[in-house]
A and B are shown apart, each in its own frame.
Chain A
Amino acid sequence: MISSYIIYVFLFLSLYFEVFLVITYLEKRKTIKTEYIIRKNDKWPSVDIVVPCFNESNTIIATIESLLRLDYPKDKLKIIVVDDGSIDNSLKTLKIFDTNPQIKIHHKENGGKYTALNFGIENSKADLIGCLDADSFVDKDALKNMLPYFENQKIMAVVPSIKVYDPKNVLQKMQRVEYSWGIFVRKILTYLNALHVTPGPFTIFRRKIFGDIGKYKHAHHTEDLEMALRMQKHNYKIANSHRSIVYTVTPNTVKTLYKQRRRWTYGFLRNAIDYKFLFFKKQYGNLSFFILPFAVTSIFSAIYLATNFIILNVNSIFEQIAKIKLVGISFTKIHFDFFYINTSLATIIAVISILASITLVLISIKLSEGKLKLKAELLYFLFLYPIIAPLWLFGAVFNTIFSNTITWR
């Protein structure tokens, strides 16, 4: 009985979050289409993009070439590649850019991604400093589309929309829908001033920010999350330019996906503990009262609901096995009877919640792709994601509780 009430509370919270997203979207629907399209200032600020690289010989060339294709004055754009002690061919591969005046290549001893980013920041004198993971590729208009946001002096960082690069298998196609969802949520979070990640793929900062609040920290291998929380702590505004598209290579096996997401969730939980003072404080607004508490609660609710679902289904599977052992497989005619349709409150709420999720995912796809395309990947996301996501959530919570550190790869 208590377990039913806990399920109702979690379902209520999940529905509340979805309703909140829908209301905010309806409020801002027109703004999304028109915001920050036109630049009022003709000046092109100088921009340095730091590309930290550790064993990325397969993708680093394409990453840099995508930066070189950016529609931006060449004399205003510099690329700072920091090889973080790669032990593969990365450094050798980078030699082809030795003569390019736009690119500076540095090599340092391995110290972790945040040290490579800080090395690049220290070697930059530009007005705007960005970062780009060495497995990501920018769209040619990505940087240009961000400039109108920086005309608002309150905005200190702009994050892009991230899409999956060339999804091939079911897992990557599932992630494509998930990333579309991410684009939508990031946009909504901007309006709530509650963005709490400045992603590695192509977040652009005002140079001033690093002087004011410091550079990147180790932050449990999620330096991009910690940087955003630190900015929120100091009330610095982060915006999202949804027209700035960045493509990123995503894990293609369950194992690599599990490791990546466990690291992200673990990093979120550890940073949430480090920044616990951000919770339930009036001065931190929506982030404090809604987004952060909800993000933490959603991890535990997903684990709880998944565990309940598994127990229920495992029991049912064992019962069916026992039945087959006793009476064999019965091929009696299946007779439809409405009586046996589950119409419990939990089921009805779950159905409403799933329908709301589908609606939001469709809105997300429309926002990220420009038009509504219904593909099988939507089904992968709806049916596969709820099965595998609890795995990394459980792994991350386990590691957080037992203080097990998580490696980068």
Chain B
Amino acid sequence: MNEREKTDWLKYLYTFVITALIFITAIYISDYFSNKKMAELKSMEDNMSLDILSSETQFSLLAEASCKNINDNTLSREVSQLGDKLSYTEEKIGANDPAFQNLKINYFLLEIKDYLLMKEISNRCKDRPVFILYFYSNKGSCTDCQNEGYVLTKLHEMYPQIRIYSFDYDFNIPTIETLKSIYEIENKLPAMFINGKTIYGLKTIDEIKKIIPETKIWDKEALASSTKVSI
């Protein structure tokens, strides 16, 4: 029988220190990018806030300006992009992160602000825009909410004229509570408030299109302009 060499504990320690250093570096890198993404979200919100302010100012000047000058398409795109990024972040870091919660509150407030402003602009300009207030839940497993999200994203791609505002039904802030009580939204999710009607459950694109008669006009306009181009 032979004597066994001594276990090199120091090497185990070195290895541990090196591995821990790699791990700490990875934590630092991950944190760095996560902060960068949060900063990007914050900056997007700031931009959106600025754009709303700009629209509000334009609106106040409406007496002297034309309705056409109000640039609402940029804002609509911003709302949609910010919404996508917020839901991606929520999926990755979880909804409980305090910094993320603040961003989400800010987002909902900006959405409501934009909604109210657009409603007023459309009244003044005699426009008939379409708004969808969409209520979803992240609690438990609302598969229909996720699926409705796909439907609404597609719908917005098809009809950028539709302004879609999404709200987390379970997010406990007074403004969302007020919105829920004004439009009498029950806890049967997903829920949508479209053209004065509240509808519950998963709805397909065709089902939503039936509720929005404007889509037929937009389809006709799109067909006419594509025919013109081909001629």
Interface residues of A (CB under 8 A from B): 12, 15-16, 19-20, 23-24, 154, 193, 234-237, 282-286, 289-290, 319, 322-323, 326-328, 330, 332, 339-340, 342-345, 347-349, 352
Residue pair B7, A16 in contact (C-beta under 8 Å): no
Most chain A CB inside 10 Å of its own CB: which residue of B16, B22, B26: B26
Bound complex: CA A282 to CA B154 (Å)? 64
Residue pair A285, B5 in contact (C-beta under 8 Å): yes
How does the 8 Å CB contact mask read for B129-169 relative to A, with 1 for contact and 0 for none? 00000000000000100110011011001000000000000
Partner of B88, one of A15, A290, A339: A339
Partner of A339, one of B16, B40, B153: B40
A19-B22, A235-B2 as given contacts; A345 in contact with B30, CB under 8 Å: yes
Using Cβ atoms and an 8 Å threshold, which residues of chain B touch A12? Answer: 19, 23
**Smallest CB gap from B32: residue in A:** A343
Bound complex: CA A349 to CA B2 (Å)? 41
Some 20 contacts from A to B, beta carbons below 8 A apart, are: A12-B19, A15-B19, A15-B23, A19-B19, A20-B15, A23-B15, A24-B11, A154-B2, A236-B1, A282-B7, A285-B7, A326-B147, A326-B150, A327-B150, A342-B92, A343-B37, A344-B30, A345-B27, A345-B30, A348-B30
Size class of the B contact interface (CB-based, 8 Å): 35 or more
Bound complex: CA A274 to CA B153 (Å)? 59
Residue pair B14, A23 in contact (C-beta under 8 Å): yes
Bound complex: CA A24 to CA B26 (Å)? 23
Bound complex: CA A154 to CA B3 (Å)? 9
Residue pair B157, A330 in contact (C-beta under 8 Å): yes
Question: For window 16-31 of chain B, which residues contact chain A by CB distance below 8 Å?
Answer: 16, 18-19, 22-23, 26-27, 29-30
Using Cβ atoms and an 8 Å threshold, which residues of chain B touch A342? Answer: 92
Bound complex: CA A15 to CA B29 (Å)? 17
**Smallest CB gap from A343: residue in B:** B33
| Interface check B113, CB cutoff 8 A | no
Bound complex: CA A54 to CA B136 (Å)? 66
**Smallest CB gap from B149: residue in A:** A323
Using Cβ atoms and an 8 Å threshold, which residues of chain B touch A283? Answer: 4
A12-B19, A19-B18, A343-B30 as given contacts; A285 in contact with B147, CB under 8 Å: no
Bound complex: CA A345 to CA B30 (Å)? 5
Bound complex: CA A237 to CA B6 (Å)? 14
Bound complex: CA A245 to CA B166 (Å)? 66
Bound complex: CA A342 to CA B30 (Å)? 9
Bound complex: CA A50 to CA B157 (Å)? 73
Question: For window 142-198 of chain B, which residues contact chain A by CB distance below 8 Å?
Answer: 143, 146-147, 150-151, 153-154, 157
Residue pair A285, B30 in contact (C-beta under 8 Å): no
Using Cβ atoms and an 8 Å threshold, which residues of chain A touch B85? Answer: 339
Determine how close the nearest CB of chain A comes to the CB of B175; give it in whole angstroms: 26
Residue pair B5, A235 in contact (C-beta under 8 Å): no
A12-B23, A193-B5, A235-B3 as given contacts; A326 in contact with B157, CB under 8 Å: no
Using Cβ atoms and an 8 Å threshold, which residues of chain B touch A285? Answer: 4-7
* Top 5 A-B pairs, shortest CB-CB distance: A343-B33, A327-B154, A345-B30, A348-B26, A16-B19
How does the 8 Å CB contact mask read for B35-56 relative to A, with 1 for contact and 0 for none? 0010010000000000000000
Bound complex: CA A16 to CA B3 (Å)? 27
Most chain A CB inside 10 Å of its own CB: which residue of B143, B150, B205: B150
A286-B7, A343-B30, A344-B30 as given contacts; A16 in contact with B151, CB under 8 Å: no
Using Cβ atoms and an 8 Å threshold, which residues of chain A touch B4? Answer: 193, 235, 283-285
Bound complex: CA A195 to CA B146 (Å)? 52
Bound complex: CA A154 to CA B151 (Å)? 73
Using Cβ atoms and an 8 Å threshold, which residues of chain A touch B147? Answer: 322-323, 326
A16-B16, A327-B150 as given contacts; A234 in contact with B22, CB under 8 Å: no
Bound complex: CA A24 to CA B11 (Å)? 9
Residue pair B154, A20 in contact (C-beta under 8 Å): no
Bound complex: CA A326 to CA B202 (Å)? 10
Known: A339-B40, A349-B26. 6 other contacts (CB 8 A): A19-B19, A193-B5, A285-B5, A285-B7, A343-B30, A347-B30
Residue pair B6, A19 in contact (C-beta under 8 Å): no
Using Cβ atoms and an 8 Å threshold, which residues of chain A touch B2? Answer: 154, 235-237
